[in-house]
């Protein structure tokens, strides 16, 4: 039996949660769903997150193989993050969590649960195949 949250027991749910558990990891993955982003772009797209927490979550997701870190090796540094092929396998898991969470919030608010929603309604929701409500990112020109 695990002594701390960082240790993984024999339960597959614990193994899954050890990778995606974190206040901002779902939001980070949702932001990266449309393609690679630089650290500063991610930081601006999630105004409530501190830079320290963003870097911490990015390092944890890279270590777990969920996202890839691409360093251009330039000065000044140009680092992009993207969802790895392995990380893309989390999409149905995150969608199921999103659906369940949406239903749970409705029940907690005393509303009748709706059937599967068409698209996420906030940045904290993971990507869905039906599209998103956020505006497209501006493409930056290469320097």
pLDDT digits (tens, 9 = 90+) for 40-83: 999 999 999 999 999 999 999 999 999 999 998 888 888 999 99
Q: Binning pLDDT at 50, 70 and 90, where does residue 10 land? A: confident
Write out pLDDT tens, residues 81-124: 999 999 999 999 988 988 999 999 999 998 665 655 554 554 44
Cα angle vertex 51, ends 86, 3, to 5°? 60
* Best CA proximity match to 43, nearest among 90, 83, 97, 81: 81
> Do 54 and 37 form a contact (C-beta atoms < 8 A)?
no
* Interval 28-37 mean pLDDT: 92
Q: According to the model, what pLDDT value does residue 32 have? A: 94
pLDDT class of 8 with cuts at 50, 70, 90: low
pLDDT at 103: 94
pTM of the model: 0.68
Residue 67 and residue 82 in contact, taking contact as beta carbons nearer than 8 Å: yes
Across the range 12-29, mean pLDDT stands at 90
Cβ atoms 31, 43 nearer than 8 A: no
Burial per residue of 13-31, b for 16 or more beta-carbon CB atoms within 10 angstroms, e otherwise: eeeeebbbebebbbbbbbb
Q: What is the pLDDT of the chain when averaged over all its residues?
A: 80
């Amino acid at each position: 039996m695990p002594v701390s949250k960082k240790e993984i027991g024999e339960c597959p749910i614990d193994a899954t949660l050890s990778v995606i558990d974190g206040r901002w990891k779902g939001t980070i993955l949702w932001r990266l769903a449309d393609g690679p982003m630089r650290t500063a772009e991610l930081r601006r797209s999630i105004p409530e997150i501190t830079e320290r927490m963003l870097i911490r979550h990015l390092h944890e997701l890279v270590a777990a193989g969920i996202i890839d870190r691409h360093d251009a090796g330039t000065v000044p540094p140009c680092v992009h993050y993207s969802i790895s092929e392995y990380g893309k396998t989390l999409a149905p898991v995150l969608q199921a969590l999103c659906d369940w969470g949406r239903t749970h919030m409705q029940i907690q608010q005393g509303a009748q649960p709706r059937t599967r929603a068409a698209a996420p309604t906030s940045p904290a929701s993971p990507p869905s195949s039906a599209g998103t409500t956020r505006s497209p990112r501006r493409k930056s020109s290469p320097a």
